[in-house]
Amino acid sequence: MHQERKALLYASSAVAMWSTVATAFKIALTEQTPAQLLFWAAVSSVLILSLVLSVQKKWHLLFKLSPAQWRWSLLYGALNPTLYYLLLFSAYNRLPAQEAQALNYTWALTLAFLSVPFLKQRLRPLDIVAGIVCYFGVLVIATRGQVFDLNFSDATGVSLALISTLVWASYWILNTRDQREPVLGLWLNFVLALPLLAIVNLWQGSLLVPSWQGIAGAAYVGVFEMGLAFVCWLQAMRLTQQTAKISNLIFLSPFVSLILIVTLLDEPLYPSTLVGLAFILTGLFLQQFKKNALKAQKPHTPTSR
């Protein structure tokens, strides 16, 4: 099979998996708390990534990590999955899935703005326009169309979703200096996060085995959202010579996700979600014209949760 066809297949598989996770999050959260879901999803992710590392025969790389890389791994694991997913799942626990997943898309713009002070990137006028357009979409979704009344449907849920984008963007800025093999690095993040997640669950009194439905939901999230989608996307970025073309596939994900949300969760589709999402995607599209991309950044997941 031609390399570009393989890249397209891998990227399409990743996008298809990301399109399902908003629905999966909401279903799984009906059976357990956000912290409980994250713990068991992380366990599932460790297992599936262990299998991937075995197939790829990369375990020997674990013993080549420097002491500094082990220390950095602790920080990476504290950010992703621990803090990021705790915030994200808590947002999903409070908001309709359609709103939470749309707000989560703003992480790419957050990354662009954070790259100015931390990576010395230049902020162009187009970036400012993209930010205004994108965050106006956030306002439309957060107020369910009542933008002039500023009557937020769930201010806490919206805040959690937006703070999660800040954590995710910060993680990827730090990741520009990460020299670990990507799949091994992600596996190590989850392994080192498990004790932290166990402590959080013990503190909340929720470190119990959930129902089989809860375990199944967590396993789906851990295997597909946190594991295989990442691996497929990395493979696509490694194989393709047309990164921009492949990356544009991610714009299909929110619309497929909305169809699943409305169909499987029986959520009424708010017109404000469609309008707000249109503004967010327009802002992200404008931001794609950014000339000074993160040159040091490795290919990463353009999250579609």
**Percent of the chain at pLDDT above 70?**
93
Q: pTM for the complete prediction? A: 0.90
What's the rounded Cα separation, in Å, for the pair 185 and 62?
Answer: 9
Q: What pLDDT is attached to residue 298?
A: 44
Do residues 17 and 228 touch, judged by C-beta distance below 8 A?
Answer: yes
For the chain, what's the residue count?
305
- DSSP assignment of 76-118 equals HHIIIIIIHHHHHHHHHHHS-HHHHHHHHTTHHHHHHHHHHHH
Model confidence pLDDT, tens digit, residues 18-54? 999 999 999 999 989 999 999 999 999 999 999 999 9
Of 239 and 297, which is predicted with more confidence? 239
**pLDDT tens per residue, range 190-229:** 999 999 999 999 998 776 777 888 899 999 999 999 999 9
Can you give the pLDDT at residue 305?
52
Cβ–Cβ < 8 Å for 115, 121: yes
Angle at 131 between CA 129 and CA 137, to 5 degrees: 110
Q: Which residue has the tokens 């013990």?
A: 202
Q: How far does CA 298 lie from the centroid of its chain?
A: 16
